[in-house]
Amino acid sequence: MKWLDKPYFSLNAMLNDRFGEKIYKLALNGGMTCPNRDGTLGLHGCIFCSDGGSGDFAASKSLSITAQIEQQKATIQAKRPVGKFIAYFQAYTNTYSSIDYLRAIFTEAISHPDVIAISIGTRPDCLGSEVLDLLGELNQLKPVWVELGLQTIHPKTATYIRRGYDLACFEEAVDNLRSHDIEVIVHVIIGLPSETCEDVLATINYLNTLPIQGVKLQLLHVLNGTDLAIDYKKGLFQTLSEDEYLDLLIDCLEQLSPTIVIHRLTGDGPKDLLIAPTWSSAKRTVLNKLHHRMRIQDTWQGKLYHEEV
């Protein structure tokens, strides 16, 4: 694969290989909420989730989907000569609405001539048969990806973060999505309170047993206004240092199947909300340090991919 540019299978490499050019994501807001916020399961969301529902960088929900796409396109194209995009429905739970509304907004996005795929962030307990059939139909037009926030396989941690569904629900969702030939991207948080390195790696090895196509490895951020921030300020846990995170991240990448695309390796919480760890705000520096360490250590995936190049 001539596009491989990192010592792991990066999203950039996959997109360049599949589409032959640089592709950027447009973070959209479908104006939905979440069963973990509207009283169905809870009122406060997951313990780490900000008021923006993980869509702090998404466009304004007051705009139409087309207007959001055009606004974000203009921002990116003012800096870079990019012509193709992924429409990313990011904020809150993006299959948590009526089927007619979902059909309207997803069709509007996927029909845009500059959109080559859509990616939909949602919960595994919000993927009923009608939604799955709709996503399957859209997947016949252009690629549809679904992003599921697993975060951890450990029940104790899942209860603490108020995830609101069990592992069986997640596995059923993955199987149902794959039966419609929809690509699945799984979110995992590294550094959750009380989880050891062994706990994190158990989650990573579990992912290797699933028919998934991508993963987002997210450093735990403590954001102002979240219940996680309350526990942090009480001194109930500490966030990872930069060295601790990079060491654990490399261990994860070494154990993760090399066929799984790495969509994210750290993340960058909104600077006006970020309480800890503050070092994570220098995202480019963190990634540069990671790549340097991986090449110095000559990790397993580094060997594999450089041989293919």
Mean pLDDT of 31-53: 87
Q: Kindly report, residue by residue over 247-284, the tens digit of the pLDDT.
A: 999 999 999 999 999 999 987 778 889 999 999 998 88
H or E element at residue 75: helix 65-77
User: Who's near 94: CB < 8 A, 6+ residues apart?
Assistant: 30, 32, 120, 121, 122
Q: Kindly report, residue by residue over 112-152, the tens digit of the pLDDT.
A: 999 999 999 999 999 999 999 999 999 999 999 999 999 99
Mean pLDDT of 35-63: 79
Percentage of the chain with pLDDT > 70? Answer: 91
pLDDT tier at 52 (50, 70, 90 boundaries)?
low
Angle between helices 242-255 and 300-308 (to 10 degrees): 60
Cα 73 to the center of its chain, rounded Å: 21
Q: Residue 75 is which amino acid?
A: T
Tokens of 292: 């340097």
Q: Kindly report, residue by residue over 12-29, the tens digit of the pLDDT.
A: 999 999 999 999 999 999
91 or 240, higher pLDDT: 240
- pLDDT for 272 equals 86
Is 296 a residue whose pLDDT tops 90? no
Q: For the whole model, what pTM was predicted?
A: 0.92
Is 304 a residue whose pLDDT tops 50? no
pLDDT tier at 184 (50, 70, 90 boundaries)?
very high
- Asked whether the beta carbons of 283 and 275 are under 8 A apart, the reply is no
- pLDDT for 61 equals 81
What domains does the chain contain, in order, with CATH numbers?
11-308 (3.20.20)
